[in-house]
């Protein structure tokens, strides 16, 4: 039995709404796949919030879950605050870009944060045999995720 953290429970009652957003953006996608994409997006955001200063980036498929989560701004902000820092989105506009190193580092960071990684959702652009998603941005070092540290008030 896995002792990994459960991403669904971190978003609680908002999880079905984010899954519905993934489904709305991707007509014909199966419910279980949208749930997996949402879970992986949550894992990514929580990991980024916990590790400010570390350049991380999602795969294109996982980015779809992150995009859906961002649209639910109140639970998104609460999730970020609960685990550390606000995680801002800096889109990468080259959908063919792929940086194996940053994605390896991101998956390792997700594992270090206590989650299992759904490897199938971390495919390179053009190798998305599981699903083609609506998200067209691919994050690179120039647009890697760098959460802002918590502000220090005097």
| Stretch 117-146: mean pLDDT | 62
Helix (H) or strand (E) holding 62: helix 60-70
Question: Residue 114: left if φ>0, alpha if ψ -120 to 50, beta else—which one?
Answer: left
pLDDT tens, residue by residue, 39-98: 999 999 999 999 988 889 898 889 999 999 999 999 999 999 999 989 988 776 665 666
Give the global pTM.
0.82
Mean pLDDT of the chain: 82
pLDDT tens, residue by residue, 44-54: 999 999 998 88
Q: Which long-range contacts (CB under 8 A, 24 or more apart) does 7-16 make?
A: 7/38, 7/39, 7/40, 7/42, 7/43, 7/46, 7/115, 8/35, 8/39, 8/42, 10/42, 10/46, 10/79, 10/82, 11/38, 11/42, 11/69, 11/75, 11/79, 14/72, 14/75
Distance CA 23, CA 35 (A): 9
């Amino acid at each position: 039995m896995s002792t990994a953290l459960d991403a669904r429970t971190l978003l609680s009652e908002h999880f079905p709404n984010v899954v519905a957003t993934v489904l709305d953006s991707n007509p014909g996608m199966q419910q279980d796949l949208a749930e997996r994409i949402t879970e992986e997006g949550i894992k990514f955001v929580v990991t980024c919030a916990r590790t400010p200063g570390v350049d991380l980036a999602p795969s294109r498929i996982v980015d779809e879950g992150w995009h859906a989560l961002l649209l639910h701004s109140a639970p998104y902000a609460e999730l970020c605050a609960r685990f550390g820092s606000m995680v801002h989105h800096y889109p990468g506009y080259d959908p063919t870009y792929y940086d194996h190193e940053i994605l390896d580092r991101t998956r390792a960071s997700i594992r270090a944060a206590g989650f299992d990684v759904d490897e199938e959702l971390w495919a390179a652009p053009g190798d998305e045999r599981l699903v083609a998603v609506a998200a067209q941005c691919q994050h690179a070092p120039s647009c890697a995720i760098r959460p802002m540290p918590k502000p220090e008030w005097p």
